[in-house]
Chains A and B, each alone.
Chain A
Amino acid sequence: MSAVGLAVGDGVVLAKRNLTRTLRVPDLMMSSLIMPIMSTLLFAYIFGSAIQVPGVSYTEFLLVGVFVQTVVFNSVITGSGLAEDIQKGIVDRFRSLPISPYSVLIGRTISDLANNVLSIVVMVVTGLLVGWRIDSSAGEAAAGFVLLLAFAYALSWVLAVVGLSVRAPEVVTNASFMIIMPLCFIANTYVSPEGFPAVLRVIAEWNPVSAVTQAVRELFGNTNPAFPPGDAWPLQNAILASFLWIVVMLVVFVPFATSRYRKAVAR
């Protein structure tokens, strides 16, 4: 078997194990299934009804923000899952087996991708029930979902670095949220950054989450004239910018996470 084939083959076996675990831990089930439903409902009814924009649906605009926020929050599992497996000695057992050295990371990121698919399906169903619609072609809609998942996958590698650097599983979640919260909220997820103070606005405009949110809105036909994207390049060229962000994140963080993993386990 080729090196890549081995890494992916072993990765898939490990991903299945991770998913089985997820289904058996009530906490993890909560975060990947119940939370997305709750977020969708809360945002749709509370904010959606509080902010009335004549002629257009704020709920449609809002829900893409909820989708992005959910996959971003889900990426925390990557770091905490890795830290926990290392701490418990499970990774040592895996490493004593003739598996590819990359398979633990590949398995973890694959299972988190599957987890995100699950969350998105749940959110789409909930969203459709509360009146959200995709106003674009099937091809564009599919591209939107692929973009969302690709971004989530790239982000998993970023949070893998956090988990492998912090190491103590209890601390990983907190450390991750310190990165994720600003990423999610200093962005165009729920409001237009136009009204932000100058510094925050520039951060929001160049935040990868903003580019991805704008791109997915465009692909789903959920843009809203009441909330213009702004003039910054990444928001005017959101699909291209998202693609570039994803590539940059993977190019930087896949090797970074791999070297962190080597350091974390070789003790």
Chain B
Amino acid sequence: MPPSVARGFRRGEPAFEPGGEAMMTAAIVAREVVKKYASVTALDGFDLEVAEGTVMGLLGPNGAGKTTAVRVFATLIQPDSGHAEVAGIDVVANPRAVREVIGLSGQYAAVDELLTGYENLELIGRLYHLGKKGAKARAEELLEQFDLTEAAGRRLKEYSGGMRRRLDLAGALVRKPKVLILDEPTTGLDIRSREATWEAIGELVASGSTLLLTTQYLEEADRLAHRIAVIDHGKLIANGTADELKDQVGGHRLEVTLRDAADLDHARAVLAPIGHGEPVATQEDRRVVVPIAAAGGVLVEGVRRLDMAGIEVVDASVRRPTLDDVFLALTGHRADKAEQNGEGVKAEETKNEEPVR
């Protein structure tokens, strides 16, 4: 990720930073939430706390339990055990009251293709019981806000993927929710639409509502969220700001890309002595990442060792850890490549993780 992009966006962040006050009210709480399906345990004692007015990025690979967690908070499913609340309301005991204060935008844009943009928003307004006039006014307001006024009379079928997503986002905002839940808001979008969606979310965030955002894109979490919770196999395995998580992993990274994937194991062995920890190889991009203590001289040393071993190097660099490294260190697999990698070996250190409060 180009760091300039991230910084450019962070200017738009709310002045408010979490942790400023002594006692923060939690807008979203999950404790020991378990949800089992016939063959899978989707949530396996899941814990989460999101402070009011902050953006929490819930990060995890496909099948980690992100969507299940969202469905519990949105009262779409009931957990088998454990406790979950939104805006102080128990999701199991009082789902109706929770629905009054949340706005949900799903993984695939849940909008009606045959209705126009206006009709979609008006429908949602009517179902929030805003009344005919109220629903109409709110729909027009949101279309304006999301730059969709011109497309208001067109059916969703004719919208681009990005426009649909914006309308879906608008749908989540009809009632000006206290807590906004966005489930993978940019999955499946091209880069340009993703940028536009991020901008729209950025503006929402600036208005100060609480946001829970799930994503499998580390860049997205880094860019939008105040804090990041990492979920894997239905459990919270880390929680902190992006910087805290990166510091936790520590040091720098030596990253080399090889010409031939067959050399990966050899390269790992060759680089192990100069590393601070175990080198990790990823097959699909022929890359070896080695945690190192300090940057000085390691790059040259690493390349020389590989050269002496007869391993051809395409690219080599030393960098600060990214969220990708954090993810790799915590889960044993890459965030967005989890499916291809199959079962990642879970890193032992996750057990020692102190929950950040």
A interface list, Cβ under 8 A from B: 10, 13-14, 17, 20-21, 24-25, 88-90, 92-99, 265-267
Known contacts A10-B127, A266-B77, A266-B78; A96 and B114 CB within 8 A of each other: no
B9 within 8 Å of A (CB atoms): no
B124 within 8 Å of A (CB atoms): yes
The minimal Cβ–Cβ distance linking A119 to chain B, given in whole angstroms, is: 20
A-B contact pairs, 28 of them (CB 8 A): A13-B123, A13-B126, A14-B127, A17-B112, A17-B115, A17-B119, A20-B114, A21-B112, A21-B115, A88-B110, A89-B107, A89-B108, A89-B110, A90-B111, A92-B76, A92-B104, A93-B111, A93-B124, A94-B127, A95-B76, A96-B76, A96-B104, A97-B99, A97-B127, A98-B96, A98-B100, A266-B76, A266-B78
Q: Cα distance A92–B108 when bound, in Å?
A: 11
Give the residue among A88, A97, A265 with the most B Cβ atoms within 10 A: A97
Q: Which residues of chain A come closer than 8 Å to B111, judged between CB atoms? A: 90, 93
B257 within 8 Å of A (CB atoms): no
Closest B residue by C-beta to A22: B114
Q: Cα distance A88–B75 when bound, in Å?
A: 18
Q: Cα distance A89–B75 when bound, in Å?
A: 14
Q: Cα distance A267–B127 when bound, in Å?
A: 22
* CB neighbors of A among B141-181 (8 A): 155, 171
Closest B residue by C-beta to A89: B110
Contact with A21, one of B114, B124, B129 (Cβ below 8 angstroms) = B114
Other than the given A10-B127, A97-B99, 11 more pairs (CB < 8 A) read: A13-B127, A17-B119, A20-B115, A89-B107, A90-B112, A92-B104, A92-B106, A93-B104, A93-B106, A94-B127, A95-B76
Decide if A96 touches B99 in the complex (CB within 8 Å).
yes
B interface list, Cβ under 8 A from A: 37, 74-78, 96, 99-100, 102-104, 106-108, 110-112, 114-115, 119, 123-124, 126-129, 155, 171
Q: Which residues of chain B come closer than 8 Å to A92, judged between CB atoms? A: 76, 104, 106, 110
Q: Which residues of chain B come closer than 8 Å to A10, judged between CB atoms? A: 127
Q: Which residues of chain B come closer than 8 Å to A93, judged between CB atoms? A: 104, 106, 110-111, 124, 171
Q: Which residues of chain A come closer than 8 Å to B75, judged between CB atoms? A: 95-96
Contact with A25, one of B37, B99, B114, B171 (Cβ below 8 angstroms) = B114
Closest A residue by C-beta to B108: A89
Q: Which residues of chain B come closer than 8 Å to A17, judged between CB atoms? A: 112, 115, 119, 123
Q: Which residues of chain A come closer than 8 Å to B104, judged between CB atoms? A: 92-93, 96
Decide if B155 touches A24 in the complex (CB within 8 Å).
yes
Q: Which residues of chain A come closer than 8 Å to B106, judged between CB atoms? A: 89, 92-93
Q: Which residues of chain A come closer than 8 Å to B76, judged between CB atoms? A: 92, 95-96, 265-266
The minimal Cβ–Cβ distance linking A88 to chain B, given in whole angstroms, is: 7
Q: Which residues of chain A come closer than 8 Å to B100, judged between CB atoms? A: 98
Q: Which residues of chain B come closer than 8 Å to A13, judged between CB atoms? A: 123, 126-127
Q: Which residues of chain B come closer than 8 Å to A89, judged between CB atoms? A: 106-108, 110
Q: Cα distance A237–B106 when bound, in Å?
A: 53
The minimal Cβ–Cβ distance linking B6 to chain A, given in whole angstroms, is: 31
Q: Which residues of chain B come closer than 8 Å to A98, judged between CB atoms? A: 96, 99-100, 127-129
Closest B residue by C-beta to A267: B77
- For the complex of A and B, the 10 pairs showing the least CB-CB separation, nearest first, are A89-B110, A96-B104, A93-B110, A98-B99, A97-B127, A13-B126, A21-B114, A24-B114, A98-B100, A96-B74
Q: Cα distance A266–B78 when bound, in Å?
A: 8
Decide if A97 touches B108 in the complex (CB within 8 Å).
no
Q: Cα distance A90–B115 when bound, in Å?
A: 12
The minimal Cβ–Cβ distance linking A11 to chain B, given in whole angstroms, is: 11
The minimal Cβ–Cβ distance linking B41 to chain A, given in whole angstroms, is: 15
Q: Which residues of chain A come closer than 8 Å to B103, judged between CB atoms? A: 96
Q: Cα distance A21–B115 when bound, in Å?
A: 7
Q: Cα distance A21–B112 when bound, in Å?
A: 9
Q: Cα distance A92–B110 when bound, in Å?
A: 8
Q: Which residues of chain A come closer than 8 Å to B99, judged between CB atoms? A: 96-98
